Structure 1
Amino acid sequence: MIQASIPFLLFNDDCEQALAYYVEIFNAEIIEKMTFEDVGYTEDRQRNNCIANSTFKLGNNLFYAGDAVEKGDLQTVSKNSRISFWLELDSLEEIAVLESNLISTGSVSLVALHKTFWESHYAKVQDRFGIVWELNVQN
């Protein structure tokens, strides 16, 4: 039986920057972070500080993140993939500020904040690392 579903975000040698960005933008809490050097991956010493695995929290939700072990792994992956992360927020003010902060720091608005047919306010943003975030607040 499946006990949990935890997304793993894969980066191309910029996981450390992405984690710092998520702390700044989402007030994420970094729970654990290990570099390639920490876990004994020493095939490419120039990449010792790349993130092998990390765990962070957004609200009550866990996410894993790390850099691809093989640099070419992400070349065939589209940055605008079929996966996005839906975040339920507490207020219209919170969603507006979050959307603004994302866009002002290099993210791209895919769907601008608007009132929806499902009686919410919603926005969709692709962050500067290629991760798509769907922001929603129930009215």
Structure 2
Amino acid sequence: MMLLEPYLNFNGNTEQAFLFYRSVFGGNFTVLMRFADMPGSEKMPEADRQRIMHISLPIGDHVTLKGTDVIDSLNQQLQPGDNFHLAITVDNEADIHRLFNGISAGGTVIMPLGKESWGELFGMCKDKFGIQWMFNYIKPVK
């Protein structure tokens, strides 16, 4: 299985944007995580802790719109043109390495593949054409 989904970045108004998208597309959020849910978040300013770390809204049978708030306290800044990623989720560890290494070749690794609290491996890069990518490997439940 491989999914390719749009991942939108917002400057503090992800929640408002996704409430709007839900009013248009319908459906329910399948994930809504705040930065307060992240390990170590107690060191963040309270306003940032309440912002959206990850939100997912299915908008059809095969597409999920995803998003996050860009957080100044994490040294993140929103730049025009950098407000989205293409997010790939796979259920095969070999695929995540092959895809990440292939797309990042000649580009910039922003976050190397590594273990995260929500899944086995996650990484981010910008390809040699300037497109931002996110890679997520979630081990299948057997």
- Normalising by structure 1, we get a TM-score of 0.49
Query: Which has the bigger relative contact order, CA under 8 A and spacing at least 6?
Result: 2
TM-score (norm 2): 0.48
